[in-house]
Amino acid sequence: MLAKIALRLVGAAALVGALLTLGPPAQAAVPDTIPLKITNNSARGDRVYVYNLGTLLTTGQQGWADANGTFHAWPAGGNPPTAAPDASIVGPAAGQSATIRIPKFSGRIYFSYGQKLDFRLTTGGLVQPAVQNPSDPNRNILFNWSEYTLNDSGLWLNSTQVDMFSAPYAVGVQRSDGSTVSTGHLKAGGYTGFFDALRGQPGGWAGLIQTRSDGTVLRALAPGYGVETGALPSTVLDDYVNRVWQKYATTTLTVTPFADQPNTKYYGRVSGNVMNFANTAGTVVTSFQKPDAASVFGCYKYLDAPNDLVRGPISRTLCAGFNRSTLLVNPAQPDATTANFYQDAVTNHYARKIHAQMADGKAYAFAFDDVGQQESLVHDGAPLQAYLTLDPLS
């Protein structure tokens, strides 16, 4: 499971870098490294540790980068996993900023409060923290991460809650024209507001919250992990999925997966336990088994989305429709009408409550929250500088 999660997220970052064309075009070659300014507005007295881990795009090697942006390949791991080299960078104290350099990577920028993270290496590479596992050595550490891709086409940098909602932060980029854009900030009171809202949601959603023995609220697990660990009932979405299956047994679901290709459409109909999709010629091009909650929340399994031009784009659209509960109100997907999102009583309440607390409404609350551009992402083709701002836990 750990390997699958790591590959999915790093792969998603690479896919973002390959497919999105937001922002102005590159004006000059992207340098080998760019500055990342880290500002600590958390108001916490804990020491901050920063890590830049990922895959070096020029060679495909996995490793880490130091504060100067110099790449270091991971040594060989073992079975059981062996301790990884200390890749930590001391971050800025509260109220201060520090600048490091980031290389052409596809990976993650982790930050932790008060304690270094414990990274291990297996024979297959780095083991990412997996705090849904009670024995994970990082479970009682307050930490979070951002995902980014920097390549010859520019920078894609996002805030993410795909795996968990935890220590808040925002990302930004100074574009080639000198302007700056940012995303990921919560509304005032949004951090505690999210946890309060989750605690008040019936149906087991409060079980996603993890708290340290000293009373510190550490995070809320994404609902897919809640289902996996038993914190959230596996039947939590059954009623909605059943209603969708019933509707499209007699109605056609039209999917137009590419905004720039309005004539590329696929038509879905349910037959028994399967939804078949046909192209405009009437040929069935792919089929989906009736999904369970794990498939919907994780956008995998019965809603697997390969990096192709047919099944993957259809699956992304279905995943967004199920998580946002728009499939019953609109038979033409994707639905870009945010007023329709999360209106059913059976929905991804984790994602709903995260988006409700974001200052700009944007978040990566599930894997394909970028359908309809609802994601918290900044991009530029020739970035001058990137930003990571640690926000208050209030």
For residues 318 and 303, the answer to whether their CB atoms sit within 8 Å is: yes
B/e letters for 371-394, b = 16+ CB within 10 Å, e = fewer, are bbebbbbbbbbbbbbbbbbbbbbe
- Concerning whether 163 is annotated as a catalytic residue, the answer is yes
User: Residues 46, 86, 147, 335: which is the catalytic one?
Assistant: 147
345, 348, 351, 356 alpha-carbon torsion, rounded to 10°: 0
> Is residue 117 within 8 Å of 138, Cβ to Cβ?
yes
147 catalytic? Reply is yes
**Nearest C-alpha neighbor of 94 from the set 381, 394, 326, 391:** 391
Point out the catalytic residue in the list 32, 118, 152, 163.
Answer: 163
* Nearest Cα residue to 372 out of 361, 380, 383, 382: 361
Distance (Å, whole) CA 233 – CA 227: 6
Q: Which residues are catalytic?
A: 147, 163
